[in-house]
Structure 1
Amino acid sequence: MNWNFSEISKSFLKDDKGKLLVEGNFGMEKESQRVTSSGDLALTFHPAVFGDKIKNPRITTDFSESQIEMITPTFKSIEEVYAELDTINIEVENGIGDELLWPLSMPPRLPDEDNIPIARFPDSEDGKYMETYRNGLALRYGKKMQMISGIHYNFSFSEGMVDYLYKRFGNGNDKRSFIDEMHFALARNFLRYRWMLIYLFGASPYSHHTYYSVINNEIEIIQKCCQCCVDVIENFNKYATSLRVSRFGYSNALKNKHSIYFNSLEEYSEELRKLMATKNTEYSKLGVYKNGSQIQLNGNILQKENEFYSSIRLKQNTNEGETQLDALEKRGVKYIEVRILDLNPFEKVGLSIDEMNFLQVFMLFCLFEQSDIITEDEHARINLNHHLVALYGRKENLMLQKYNKGTIGLKSWGKEIFERLKNVAELMDKGTGDDKYCKIVEEEYKKLFDISLLPSERIHREMEENNENFLEFGTRYAINNSQKNIIRKT
């Protein structure tokens, strides 16, 4: 989908529809590890006060018994969803007793692999399925990698916004096809420019030494295929912004080398189903059953679609018995899930309202920017930029890959992108009659030329100034961020 932003902006202004740009539906999902006051992973069961994990729509677990997941309903404003996440966060803190919520994406001090508790579910068909899937993840990738946490940002455009775009730019095409194409075009640009979010919001430059086995294993793989890369890759701890989304974090894209380009719903569906139906030699050798118990769902490249790690997902509300992919194929794209955000230890719930507002500007930029089909070569460059910024984003004069060949400095490219972000923010502000979005974009722009403002650099400097290690820093913020026993007025 190729938009003309000049034409779009004139259209919104002429029709006095600028307010549609700030409308939408918003939801959040936050993962956090429960820890003891010493920063050790809590080995206790998921607190009974939260009830059945399958039935509680607000508080459940992710991979591990110790990994709480908080889920908000959908709201019409960022402020409302933020307030709800804060409320759930406080409820969780009050429900875990003397334990704390770990404020960082990279895990706390972990026990031996065998002692990391996989989430347990009721002895039902659904419960067994969910446990088997998690056992399969542990078998394939190791438990430590699965202990990484983050925040997922769910967003959909308002019906008014979609209807307006279709009316003005649909050219008589089928509405559902137009909506799908619109979202897939956005997703392609999100992939292209996600390195910017990793730079601005990455907050996982370090890990605890109990996680080093995962990193060392990855370095061994690199050593086997690219000996000359080893010296460079081992210097990541000087410059990293986000280990979480790097090749040392939660990503299976490199391990299995599967590529999905988001070029269309048909292509996306076909490729994902192929991955779920194709046997993987390594996983098949592990077996599906051991000593009479099922240890993974199957021996395929992906046990199910959730195992495909992507920094963005396009989703549809599901009916009973449907998978996400079934729902997408039947009814098309409904909303977007951004999965690239680290927990920010400097914010009590892991992110700020300003960060969420910037994301809204960024998503509109991704929607209105020209979005050609992604080729294999461009996809490789996109992924390289992702990992360069994740591991070396704080390095002076870092060079990135331009998608039409050649290289460009991070700051130079960032400046170009921010000019377009400012244009989007101005259009949003004209629609609301204030300057909120322009101010937010201006604040983020400062990070391009002052790395001391980056969360990753702030973590680095605080640890140095306080002579703290990773565990001490994380524990201090776990205590500082705790809002236990806060009573809210109704």
Structure 2
Amino acid sequence: MINALEARLELLSESAQRELLNISRGIEKEGLRADSSHFISQTNHPEVLGHTLTHSQITTDYSEALMELITPVSQTVDQLMKDLSDVHCFVQSHLGEEVLWSGSMPCKIDGNDSIRIAEFGDSNLGKLKHVYRKGLDARYGRIMQSIAGLHYNFSLPDAFWKEWQVVKGDTQPLQDFKSEQYFSLIRNFRRHSWLLMYLFGASPAADQSFLAGMRHPLQPFDDKGTWYLPYATSLRMGDLGYHSNAQSSLAICFNSLSNFTHTLEEAIHKPYPAYEVMGTQKDGEYIQLNTNILQIENEYYSAIRPKRNAESGEKPIHALKQRGVEYIEVRCLDLNPYLPLGISDQQVRFMDAFLVYCLVADSPVVSEKECQALDWNFETVVNRGREPGLKLKTPAGEAPLKDLGLALLDEIGRVAAIFDDMHCKAADAGKAKSDDALANNRYHGAIEEQRSKLVQPELTPSASILSVMKSESLSWLEIVGELSFKHQQLSKQHCNDESIHEKYHVMAKESFLKEQQLKDADVSKFSEYMTQYLS
């Protein structure tokens, strides 16, 4: 008997299915710089890597020590992973005695002041980015700014959307249809993202220095200062991570583009009493951009975001409103400390199949009641995902996580089969884009790899990390420190391609020229620039 998903997939023409080979992907991977004592770096971002404001692939996130490595957009998994490997190769070769911390929960820190706020130069744009981060410090403290993650950017080509629009019987303008469908994907992502936390969560423990002065439910793991939750998958995505009382009051709606931008704009322009007390300046210096619930839209943290590339000087939310959704950004993925790049090619393939499934499966509007259940499921898996017999909420009542996960993998597997079939046909027709297309069962393998984790929870990254820590008497700092050093040495040994170094040296030089051009183009004082940007 054919199910609803199969019926939808069968309506897709072969040309539409073939367009799945043209998915655009990108990765933004964060990582702290840490010294040989596992302490957060106190040094400036290495100048040899380029200027953080204008370099397209090597920058910093919230703190000066929190690097962000960005891949170009790619249409093949092989190229994506090569790009990520290349930028790691260059960076790892220029960190001196420091390492790139391979875990999401941070290395050793010494209070708020040990986490330096990122600097972006003295252009107006650079000052804006710095003041925004000072606002994050004033509102939430810097401790949360030491957490690292991996963002997965994903979009489908217009040729696919045109075919899918026919299947859906839709006649609105293509961009409007795309935006509507990306939000359909996002709704299903919210329904099923707990599975990503179970399968890929890799932050079940933290060092005591991260928890200093914080009320938390964690338990001591050892006598070396490691704290944990026995069945946690991703402490990073729980209340220890990006969480605030101000944002918890927001009711950001993900049911449509208009509702999303409207509710987000309300938060950007709505004053918050505690922030009004702080003011925007202290001792003549800006400490935050404004006193509203959100300074800018980037301050709102969610597991997934609709995105649109903004033009120079354009606010992201204006770009979304004017030109619709261009791609989605998955923001809930932990760094896997065991993997040199924090992610594997098999995980990328799983993400492809998972996200396409979220798109093509039925996706009704999320009610307030369902929204609360989805939040509960996500939080529960973050904190107790591997707990034996754990049940999650469904419209039909509670059901075991294992059963729900296996059933969901069956559905995602139907999408994975299309990927494999199209790769096989591309190879047979001599149109393979890369070696990736020559192996026609890699997507099936990616699904089966995850299925084993549901059957054997000890195979999940979160369980594996705790098991090794226990068996080898290692603290969080020790295990991640050792892995970070190992990854760096491996990267240096295999980084013999001079063209990679030449490419990034040129990019670094160009980034400084671009930053100078930005400064030269400034025609107004910073206060005027900021007012205009926020208007």
TM-score (norm 2): 0.85
Matched AA of 2:203: S
Question: Residue 5 of structure 1 corresponds to which residue in structure 2?
Answer: 5
Deviation at 1:219, TM superposition (A): 5.5
Question: Residue 256 of structure 1 corresponds to which residue in structure 2?
Answer: 248
- Contact 1:195–1:385, Cα closer than 8 Å, also in 2: yes
Question: Residue 138 of structure 2 corresponds to which residue in structure 1?
Answer: 139
- Contact 2:111–2:143, Cα closer than 8 Å, also in 1: no
From 398, 402, 421, the equivalent of 1:411 is 402
Is 2:492 aligned against 1:484? yes
Identity of aligned residues (%): 34
Deviation at 1:251, TM superposition (A): 3.2
Following the alignment from structure 2 to structure 1, what is the Cα–Cα distance between the partners of residues 355 and 170? 23
- Contact 1:4–1:368, Cα closer than 8 Å, also in 2: no
- Contact 2:247–2:300, Cα closer than 8 Å, also in 1: no
Q: Deviations over 1:299-348 (max 9, x none)?
A: 11101000000111111121112111111111111111110110001110
Question: Residue 392 of structure 2 corresponds to which residue in structure 1?
Answer: 400
Matched AA of 1:413: L
Question: Residue 223 of structure 1 corresponds to which residue in structure 2?
Answer: none
Q: Deviations over 1:71-100 (max 9, x none)?
A: 111111121111111110111111111110
Is 2:457 aligned against 1:451? yes
Q: Which moved more, 1:134-143 or 1:14-23?
A: 14-23
Deviation at 1:7, TM superposition (A): 3.1
- CA change 1:72–1:15 in 2 (3 A) is closer
Q: Deviations over 1:32-55 (max 9, x none)?
A: 000011211110111111222111
Following the alignment from structure 1 to structure 2, what is the Cα–Cα distance between the partners of residues 253 and 24? 38
Question: Residue 245 of structure 1 corresponds to which residue in structure 2?
Answer: 237
Question: Residue 72 of structure 2 corresponds to which residue in structure 1?
Answer: 73
Following the alignment from structure 1 to structure 2, what is the Cα–Cα distance between the partners of residues 165 and 334? 16
Following the alignment from structure 2 to structure 1, what is the Cα–Cα distance between the partners of residues 245 and 411? 30
- Contact 1:31–1:68, Cα closer than 8 Å, also in 2: yes
Q: How does 1:196-275 map to 2 (within 5 A)?
A: 196-213=195-212, 216-217=214-215, 237-252=229-244, 256-275=248-267
- Contact 1:170–1:178, Cα closer than 8 Å, also in 2: no
From 309, 322, 342, the equivalent of 2:334 is 342
From 380, 401, 404, the equivalent of 2:372 is 380
Question: Residue 121 of structure 2 corresponds to which residue in structure 1?
Answer: 122
Is 2:475 aligned against 1:469? yes
Is 2:268 aligned against 1:276? yes
Following the alignment from structure 1 to structure 2, what is the Cα–Cα distance between the partners of residues 443 and 253? 38
Following the alignment from structure 1 to structure 2, what is the Cα–Cα distance between the partners of residues 133 and 185? 31
Question: Residue 328 of structure 1 corresponds to which residue in structure 2?
Answer: 320
Q: Secondary structure at the match of 1:459?
A: helix
Matched AA of 1:423: R
- Contact 2:112–2:142, Cα closer than 8 Å, also in 1: yes
Q: Which moved more, 1:463-472 or 1:48-57?
A: 48-57
Matched AA of 2:34: V
Q: Which moved more, 1:319-328 or 1:195-204?
A: 319-328
- Contact 2:139–2:275, Cα closer than 8 Å, also in 1: yes
Following the alignment from structure 1 to structure 2, what is the Cα–Cα distance between the partners of residues 70 and 200? 23
Question: Residue 353 of structure 1 corresponds to which residue in structure 2?
Answer: 345
Matched AA of 2:73: T
From 463, 466, 486, the equivalent of 1:460 is 466
Number of residues of Structure 1 aligned to a counterpart in Structure 2 = 471
Runs (5+) with no aligned partner, structure 1: 221-234
- Contact 1:188–1:261, Cα closer than 8 Å, also in 2: no
Is 2:376 aligned against 1:362? no
- CA change 1:435–1:115 in 2 (3 A) is closer
- Contact 1:17–1:431, Cα closer than 8 Å, also in 2: no
- Contact 1:261–1:379, Cα closer than 8 Å, also in 2: no
Question: Residue 422 of structure 2 corresponds to which residue in structure 1?
Answer: 431
Following the alignment from structure 1 to structure 2, what is the Cα–Cα distance between the partners of residues 120 and 15? 50
Runs (5+) with no aligned partner, structure 2: 219-226, 425-439, 500-535
- Contact 1:156–1:334, Cα closer than 8 Å, also in 2: yes
Following the alignment from structure 1 to structure 2, what is the Cα–Cα distance between the partners of residues 173 and 68? 42
Matched AA of 1:333: V
Following the alignment from structure 1 to structure 2, what is the Cα–Cα distance between the partners of residues 51 and 329? 33
- Contact 1:242–1:391, Cα closer than 8 Å, also in 2: yes
- CA change 1:372–1:236 in 2 (3 A) is farther
- Contact 2:5–2:411, Cα closer than 8 Å, also in 1: no
Question: Residue 229 of structure 1 corresponds to which residue in structure 2?
Answer: none
Deviation at 1:256, TM superposition (A): 3.0
Deviation at 1:489, TM superposition (A): 5.9
Question: Residue 34 of structure 2 corresponds to which residue in structure 1?
Answer: 35
Following the alignment from structure 1 to structure 2, what is the Cα–Cα distance between the partners of residues 431 and 478? 37
- CA change 1:405–1:280 in 2 (3 A) is farther
Following the alignment from structure 1 to structure 2, what is the Cα–Cα distance between the partners of residues 154 and 314? 10
Q: Which moved more, 1:451-460 or 1:427-436?
A: 427-436
- CA change 1:266–1:280 in 2 (3 A) is same
Matched AA of 2:83: E
Deviation at 1:428, TM superposition (A): 2.4
Is 2:287 aligned against 1:295? yes
Question: Residue 21 of structure 1 corresponds to which residue in structure 2?
Answer: 20
- CA change 1:286–1:429 in 2 (3 A) is same
Matched AA of 2:10: K
Q: Deviations over 1:324-376 (max 9, x none)?
A: 11111111111111101100011101000000000000001100111111111
- Contact 2:62–2:118, Cα closer than 8 Å, also in 1: yes
TM-score (norm 1): 0.93
Deviation at 1:236, TM superposition (A): 6.2
- Contact 1:252–1:309, Cα closer than 8 Å, also in 2: no
Deviation at 1:6, TM superposition (A): 2.8
Deviation at 1:169, TM superposition (A): 2.3
Following the alignment from structure 1 to structure 2, what is the Cα–Cα distance between the partners of residues 475 and 332? 43
Deviation at 1:148, TM superposition (A): 0.3
Following the alignment from structure 1 to structure 2, what is the Cα–Cα distance between the partners of residues 454 and 427? 26
Deviation at 1:173, TM superposition (A): 2.4
Q: Secondary structure at the match of 1:238?
A: coil
Following the alignment from structure 2 to structure 1, what is the Cα–Cα distance between the partners of residues 234 and 14? 42
Following the alignment from structure 1 to structure 2, what is the Cα–Cα distance between the partners of residues 210 and 297? 29
